[in-house]
Structure 1
Amino acid sequence: MSVSLEQSIRLDGRFYQTLQKEKQYNYKISQCIENTVHQLLKERTSSNRPGMLLGKVQSGKTRTFLGIMGLGYDNGYDLVIILTKGTNALARQTYVRVQQEFASQMEEDQMRVFDIMGLPDNLRKWERQQKLAFIVKKETKNMDRLKEALFEKYPDLSSKRILFIDDEADFASVAYQKNTEANIHELRVISGKIDELRETLPSSSFLQVTATPYSLYLQPEERKVHENKVFQPVRPAFTEIVPVHNQYVGGDMYFEKANNLDHMASHLFHEIEDRELEVMKKLDRRRVKLDQLLYQKNISNIREALVNFIVGSSIRRWQQRKSGARMEKYSCMIHTERGKMAHAWQEEMVNRMESQLRESAENDDPIFRELIEASYNDLMRSVSKVDLPQPSFQELFYEVRKAVLEEHLVSSVVNSEKDVNELLDHTGQLQLRAPMNIFIGGQILDRGITIGNLIGFFYGRNPKSFQQDTVLQHSRMYGARPLADVAVTRFYTTRHIYDVMERIHEFDTALRDAFESGGHDQGVVFIQKDPLEEMIPCSPNKILLSNIRLMKPHKRLLPIGFQTGYKTYIQKTVNHITKQLEKWRESPVKKKGEAFLIPVELASELLTLIHQTLEMEEGYEWDVEDHQSMLHYLSHAHDSENKGYVWIIVRENRQIQRYDKNGRFESSPDTPSNGKGELGLARKVATDVPALILLHQQGKKEHGWRGAPFWWPILVAPKETTPAVYASKTIS
């Protein structure tokens, strides 16, 4: 949210001018930096009203807050305390980044940077008079050391103007944990220590930097009293949006553009089944024959992911060599389990698979050519969408064979601080040792560690309740990506996880839009079902993100990933639905062209009947009760003459294929919203109440069905829908 910049901050200071020159900020980044410092000075942010810097995952938030540091130094701040996630790797990465950013100022003795745990015991007054930056992990010992430095060893520092920059603020600063014995929510220890500092420093400002601010905005208005202390809520005083650069690739690529079958994004997601994730947990010789890894069906996706990564890296390196550019190194990430035994097994499987690939290449075994050809055909579907040279199969085959024989691939397990520290390069990023690097790990890979040129992502972390910040931090394939790299990227996960991530992307987008429009306090409604099946307001901090649905104007909701029941069992129900629709269409109901109104209760009954005729495939679900709840909510959301009704649009004798041209379950059985098809008509009539499109499909066997006609429902939200997050389940 931009503010007009008054002549209250200095823009010509040495720090900011040097950064402007060296980093070449564009206009939007400069405005974000200047607006943020202006707001920090203007608002005099306090412990319970910090400033918020909101960016997307891997979108340049660090670069922006370092610019804010520089401008802050020019405008009276003497000490900047950067709070990082509680890992040595992140602290080191941040420390190195700050040193690099302010190298010229440090050479001129204008500034000093310290990791708080390495702060000298004899910091001289001459040093303390320079601009200072402390890197502090959000961890007990670090926080205690910071308190000691400010109030015991160097008390003069506590009287200086201090800027706290809380990086990934949602991670620890305001998190709650449940105390089941006392039945209250209490702040974690780190949050309490940060609050304690906030209360005792006379002149400090607070900026929280995050890509997932929901734990800040969407927490209770008042925190609970615990141990005779009242903790004030952390609600941002202002929000500044980090501009997204033109190379940023995020959820819109993986979830929105992916719905366009003609876009390269439609080829990125590859679905894996839960039973293959079971194979990834531990070695089971009944399931996995270690000498036949190139042939086994139950590990087909991990094998495909490995081969696609090798082939994709080879395509990009071939393209770079052809254009005279430097050949880059690439990375792939396997993130399915937290346990070290699982990681060791996965590394062994990858190494054995690579060894068997190399052996098959040396012996000219037909399986090697078959695997490379299948990968080439898959990747070229998206590579062909980018305006770059395209290798022939023979050129690519030679490239891949050479890479395999010369051992261009290396795998590394990263499941501890020690592993990370040994694998980091001089910049604090995971080192890419070879042209092709596979990183296998768990939680340690979640925490913001930069992984360069990531084009392979095999993901299977499936907690019972997904948390917004956790899932988005797992999304390591987000960030600055050349489209040529995106074209060879493949993302492997289960349909369930993909669907949850898509919902979280929608949730993130809706709230971000609300922040940008200034409506984050009232722009998104949170609702849930009560025991009486009524829709009631819901406390946002009680939402389980694996159980949310976003409703917004003209959004479609429909079941996908199903087979029909057998004709013998469903024909009677299908015929009954048909007769009911004919009866209502011929009755004296309100009509708009082909659309007609029926009471929402009748529409809900139709969904129940249709649900009885469909069988969901593994990994797919259609919670008909949720759709009925949303149908009721949307039909009663506005006071109008149509309140309590639903527009019905019927189409018959459709012959949709069960799978689309990419081999996935069909998800668009309705005709386009060009004003002529049923979706266009639905969006035209659905202004104050929803529309329900009912498509009668022939269900022919040659189209992948069971030869039984069926009805396919599509719910379309009304135009006047207020963005709403519906939670089918909440945290008690």
Structure 2
Amino acid sequence: MEYLQTQKGWRAEPITKLDMATTHVVERLIDPSREQAGQTKGLVVGYVQSGKTANFTGVIAKAIDAGYRLIIVMTGTTNILRQQTQRRLDMELVGRENVLRGVDENDPEAAQVIDYLDDEDWINNRFVCHGIRPSDIGRPDIHRMTTRNFDYRRLQQGRSALEFERRDRTKPLWHPENLFTSDARLVVVKKNSSVLNNLVKDLKNTADRLEHIPALIIDDESDQASVNTTDPRKFVQEERERTAINRHLSNLLALLPRAQYVGYTATPFANVFIDPTDSQDIFPKDYLISLERPDGYMGAEDFHDLDLSLPEAERTYANSKEKAHLRLLEDGDEERQLQSALDSFVLSAAVKLYREAHGAHRFKHHTMLVHETARTAVQRSRAEKIQELWSTSAYFSSAAQGRLRALFEDDFRPVSEALNLGDPIPTFEDVAPYVGVAARRIAPNGNPVLVVNSDKDIEQPELDFDKRAVWSVLVGGNKLARGFTVEGLTITYYSRTVGHAEALMQMGRWFGFRRGYRDLVRVFITPKVRDAFEAACRDEEHFRGELRQYATMVDGRPKITPSTSRRWS
């Protein structure tokens, strides 16, 4: 908690709420030191980019304190998300001492075993520091079985790496005499069949009896890949066919009778429709928890006028969220609309620089997201178009001043004044000197674009929010959705077609925390997609209302569980 306050700048109230929210999860798990093995399966429902990682980081910390010793965190399906999750856990949970494990970081060969020697937050001591190896004061060390750069691989040392310490070898690991003197193992894996297969094989080869290991499985983005989507009509003679990731998950749960499964998602629709009669699947039979909407969070309802009955002519920046933040894309004249989005990106960057110079906190990242189809050729074409537009935008000369002044006076200044969030509101004369500075930071080599996809032929810097400040236009598709946090996102140009509600909400990377620049956030979106988001938002809130019935606890257990609810009976 001290780390969140001193290093992350959290206030007391959000810390208290996080403490309560994580306790609500941990109290639903089975006592890891009890003699009889048992599993629970549950689902925690948050909001898109709303702090789910902070929640399961806290849950892991409390679970380790309680005695859980094998922690498996399953992230999404991309390396970029797995790396982001590994770093967050290393920084906020594992800590410097567990990363170093006695290695001198000043040793010339240290870079071969330590991931973060060139990481700005490591250099500036922003990783949690315990002050001493936890095991030196009778607390469990956390052994990382994966690193930021390397997903799980078959262990050369195999048995010993996954073998837990036991003070009394005549007693099982779960016995209190052994459990609270043993260390924890942390595995952060992406949902990839070969990776999970390696983990399953190593667990089978470990010298420990798997039925004795208290394990916690955190399944982030649990509605992606984890759910069995095989058509039941293809099952043969009562035998269920399973998709690859679902099969590996089922195997893990079968191997580890003391494993507690906790799924995390912002779009739970697939999870709650898992067959509840399939005991080997991940149906959240024991509990459903809906996280509160955190303070300072911008979600779907902050971009849509869900219950506003005012006529269009009476809507203003002050009373209409859509008018303040959404800019509707019309058919035709795409270049003009993209130019407006690009101008908004540069202008909002200049306002951020002005605010920094006048006492606001530092804005490390500043990004614009251009969402395209999943086709890399289309993404590359869009990136080239933005580069051409940038070269003619004249941000380094006075030629752009009239265009930017009109945008500032007609849009940015009146929105900031109407929202009145307490951040410094400049005049255009105040902002103008920062325009060239902003443009230079965005495109130091003349190219403002980073393409984020699987195309290996593009020569460009790596997208890495951890190692450097990112001030860029990000062009991509699926890699920039599904759990990946786009830091500093201020302007979004969303030109994808409408998908089903679940996928649509996951594309909303503009949801999140926007401290110090909430009034600058703009989303360029088609009316069709706007309407689809609004409908999805209404469905989501109705569903969250239904989830509240599972929150009540009686004698330390949920009063109503999904397995006993008539909804699934």
What is the TM-score when the length of structure 1 is the normalising length? 0.58
Residue 351 of structure 1: how far off its partner (Å) = 1.1
On the 8 A contact 2:366/2:489 being kept in 1, the answer is: yes
Q: Does 1:117 align with 2:166?
A: no
Residue 263 of structure 1: how far off its partner (Å) = 3.4
**For residue 489 of structure 2, what is the aligned residue in structure 1?**
454
Provide the rounded CA distance (Å) in 2 between the counterparts of 1:518 and 1:410.
48
2:257 aligned to 196, 202, 206, which one?
202
Matches within 5 A, 1:387-536: 387-404=422-439, 407=443, 410-416=448-454, 423-425=462-464, 427=466, 432-433=469-470, 436-463=471-498, 465-468=499-502, 470-482=503-515, 484-518=516-550
**For residue 61 of structure 2, what is the aligned residue in structure 1?**
70
Provide the rounded CA distance (Å) in 2 between the counterparts of 1:421 and 1:78.
41
Distance 1:157 1:518, change over 3 A: closer
Residue type of the alignment partner of 1:272: L
Distance 1:59 1:417, change over 3 A: farther
CA offsets 1:257-310 (integer angstroms, 9 cap, x no match): 79463236332111113x45xxxxxxxxxxxxxxxxxxxx44221111111111
Report SS of the residue matched to 2:219.
strand
1:145 aligned to 198, 206, 211, which one?
198
On the 8 A contact 2:413/2:427 being kept in 1, the answer is: no
CA offsets 1:628-674 (integer angstroms, 9 cap, x no match): xxxxxxxxxxxxxxxxxxxxxxxxxxxxxxxxxxxxxxxxxxxxxxx
Residue type of the alignment partner of 1:346: R
Provide the rounded CA distance (Å) in 2 between the counterparts of 1:73 and 1:248.
29
On the 8 A contact 1:267/1:382 being kept in 2, the answer is: yes
2:95 aligned to 100, 103, 122, which one?
103
Provide the rounded CA distance (Å) in 2 between the counterparts of 1:309 and 1:320.
17
**For residue 171 of structure 1, what is the aligned residue in structure 2?**
224
Provide the rounded CA distance (Å) in 1 between the counterparts of 2:460 and 2:161.
33
**For residue 263 of structure 1, what is the aligned residue in structure 2?**
319
**For residue 53 of structure 1, what is the aligned residue in structure 2?**
44
Q: Does 1:357 align with 2:393?
A: yes
Distance 1:158 1:145, change over 3 A: farther
Provide the rounded CA distance (Å) in 2 between the counterparts of 1:186 and 1:497.
36
Matches within 5 A, 1:175-194: 175-178=228-231, 187-194=242-249
Provide the rounded CA distance (Å) in 2 between the counterparts of 1:268 and 1:242.
25
Report SS of the residue matched to 1:102.
helix
Provide the rounded CA distance (Å) in 2 between the counterparts of 1:403 and 1:132.
44
On the 8 A contact 2:275/2:283 being kept in 1, the answer is: no
Q: Does 1:136 align with 2:192?
A: no
**For residue 416 of structure 2, what is the aligned residue in structure 1?**
383
Matches within 5 A, 1:548-587: none
On the 8 A contact 2:46/2:291 being kept in 1, the answer is: yes
Residue 87 of structure 1: how far off its partner (Å) = 1.3
1:32 aligned to 3, 13, 21, which one?
21
**For residue 254 of structure 1, what is the aligned residue in structure 2?**
303
**For residue 70 of structure 2, what is the aligned residue in structure 1?**
79
**For residue 90 of structure 1, what is the aligned residue in structure 2?**
81
Provide the rounded CA distance (Å) in 1 between the counterparts of 2:386 and 2:364.
22
Report SS of the residue matched to 1:26.
helix
Provide the rounded CA distance (Å) in 1 between the counterparts of 2:2 and 2:306.
39
Provide the rounded CA distance (Å) in 2 between the counterparts of 1:86 and 1:320.
37
On the 8 A contact 1:318/1:399 being kept in 2, the answer is: yes
Unaligned runs of 5+ in 2: 102-132, 136-140, 166-182, 309-314, 553-559, 561-566
On the 8 A contact 2:191/2:225 being kept in 1, the answer is: yes
Provide the rounded CA distance (Å) in 1 between the counterparts of 2:49 and 2:268.
15
Residue 486 of structure 1: how far off its partner (Å) = 2.0
CA offsets 1:550-574 (integer angstroms, 9 cap, x no match): xxxxxxxxxxxxxxxxxxxxxxxxx
Residue 515 of structure 1: how far off its partner (Å) = 1.0
On the 8 A contact 2:289/2:550 being kept in 1, the answer is: no
Provide the rounded CA distance (Å) in 1 between the counterparts of 2:345 and 2:525.
15
Distance 1:105 1:70, change over 3 A: farther
On the 8 A contact 1:150/1:156 being kept in 2, the answer is: no
Greater relative contact order structure (CA < 8 Å, 6+ sep): 2
* Seq. identity, %: 20
Residue 396 of structure 1: how far off its partner (Å) = 2.4
Distance 1:518 1:341, change over 3 A: same
Provide the rounded CA distance (Å) in 2 between the counterparts of 1:368 and 1:19.
42
On the 8 A contact 1:333/1:438 being kept in 2, the answer is: yes
On the 8 A contact 1:321/1:327 being kept in 2, the answer is: no
Residue 178 of structure 1: how far off its partner (Å) = 4.4
**For residue 242 of structure 1, what is the aligned residue in structure 2?**
291
Q: Does 1:302 align with 2:338?
A: yes
Residue 122 of structure 1: how far off its partner (Å) = 1.3
Residue 239 of structure 1: how far off its partner (Å) = 2.2
**For residue 376 of structure 2, what is the aligned residue in structure 1?**
340
Provide the rounded CA distance (Å) in 1 between the counterparts of 2:528 and 2:37.
41
Residue 37 of structure 1: how far off its partner (Å) = 1.3
CA offsets 1:140-167 (integer angstroms, 9 cap, x no match): 1011111111102454456311111111
Provide the rounded CA distance (Å) in 2 between the counterparts of 1:480 and 1:372.
28
Residue 519 of structure 1: how far off its partner (Å) = 9.0
Provide the rounded CA distance (Å) in 2 between the counterparts of 1:462 and 1:263.
29
Residue type of the alignment partner of 1:347: A
Provide the rounded CA distance (Å) in 2 between the counterparts of 1:422 and 1:400.
23
On the 8 A contact 2:22/2:55 being kept in 1, the answer is: yes
On the 8 A contact 1:83/1:137 being kept in 2, the answer is: yes
Report SS of the residue matched to 1:255.
coil
What is the TM-score when the length of structure 2 is the normalising length? 0.74
On the 8 A contact 1:82/1:136 being kept in 2, the answer is: yes
Provide the rounded CA distance (Å) in 1 between the counterparts of 2:250 and 2:37.
14
Provide the rounded CA distance (Å) in 2 between the counterparts of 1:90 and 1:41.
29
Provide the rounded CA distance (Å) in 1 between the counterparts of 2:190 and 2:526.
34
Provide the rounded CA distance (Å) in 2 between the counterparts of 1:380 and 1:311.
11
Residue type of the alignment partner of 1:352: E
Residue type of the alignment partner of 2:534: E
CA RMSD, 1 decimal: 3.6
Distance 1:514 1:326, change over 3 A: same
On the 8 A contact 1:64/1:242 being kept in 2, the answer is: no
**For residue 311 of structure 2, what is the aligned residue in structure 1?**
none
**For residue 174 of structure 2, what is the aligned residue in structure 1?**
none
**For residue 288 of structure 1, what is the aligned residue in structure 2?**
none
CA offsets 1:369-397 (integer angstroms, 9 cap, x no match): 23542344211221113233322223323
CA offsets 1:673-700 (integer angstroms, 9 cap, x no match): xxxxxxxxxxxxxxxxxxxxxxxxxxxx
Provide the rounded CA distance (Å) in 2 between the counterparts of 1:20 and 1:240.
25
Bigger drift between 329-338 and 109-118 goes to: 109-118
Larger Rg: 1
Residue 207 of structure 1: how far off its partner (Å) = 1.0
On the 8 A contact 1:89/1:417 being kept in 2, the answer is: no
Higher strand share goes to which structure? 1
Distance 1:162 1:327, change over 3 A: closer
Residue 503 of structure 1: how far off its partner (Å) = 0.8
Distance 1:401 1:66, change over 3 A: closer
Distance 1:372 1:413, change over 3 A: farther
Residue 105 of structure 1: how far off its partner (Å) = 6.0
Distance 1:147 1:246, change over 3 A: same
Report SS of the residue matched to 2:414.
helix
Unaligned runs of 5+ in 1: 1-15, 224-229, 277-296, 524-538, 541-732
Distance 1:353 1:158, change over 3 A: farther
